[in-house]
Amino acid sequence: MVDREMKERGAMSDQYRPMVRRASAVVALTAGVALALAGCGGGGGDKQPDSKPSSKSASSGGTASKGGSSPSADATQVLAQVKGEKGIEVTINSVVRDAGGFLTVQGSVTNNGTEVFNADMWVGSETAVSRSGASVAGAVLVDQAGKKRYYVLRDTEGKCLCTMGLLSIQPKETRPIFAQFPAPPTGTTSVEFQLPTMPPAKIQISEG
Q: Who has greater pLDDT, 115 or 19?
A: 115
| 85 and 19, same domain (yes or no) | no
| 87 and 23, same domain (yes or no) | no
Q: How many domains does the chain have?
A: 2
Q: Who has greater pLDDT, 79 or 63?
A: 79
Looking at the predicted structure, is the pLDDT value of residue 172 above 90?
yes
- What average pLDDT does range 61-80 have in this prediction? 48
The span from the CA of 117 to the CA of 115, in Å, is: 6
| 63 and 126, same domain (yes or no) | no
Backbone dihedral angles phi then psi of residue 82, each to the nearest 5 degrees: -125, 150
Decide if 190 contacts 202 (C-beta within 8 A).
yes
Q: What is the pLDDT of residues 146-164, one digit of tens each?
A: 899 999 999 988 899 999 9
pLDDT at 192: 97
Decide if 139 contacts 152 (C-beta within 8 A).
yes
CA distances from residue 125 to 117, 121, 133, 135, 137 in whole angstroms, order as listed: 19, 8, 11, 12, 10
For residue 180, which of 121, 95, 109, 71 has the smallest C-alpha distance?
Answer: 95
| 82 and 168, same domain (yes or no) | yes
| 119 and 203, same domain (yes or no) | yes
Q: Which domain does 83 fall in, by range?
A: 77-207
Q: Which residues contact 167 (CB under 8 A, 6 or more apart)?
A: 118, 119, 133, 134
pLDDT at 79: 95
Instruction: Choose the weakest-confidence range: 41-45, 66-70, 125-129.
Output: 66-70
pLDDT at 9: 52
pLDDT at 163: 97
| 93 and 64, same domain (yes or no) | no
Tell which of 68, 99, 123 closes a domain.
Answer: 68
| 156 and 86, same domain (yes or no) | yes
Q: What is the pLDDT of residues 95-135, one digit of tens each?
A: 999 988 999 999 999 999 999 999 999 998 888 788 899 99
Model confidence band, residue 49 (pLDDT cutoffs 50, 70, 90): very low
Looking at the predicted structure, is the pLDDT value of residue 140 above 50?
yes
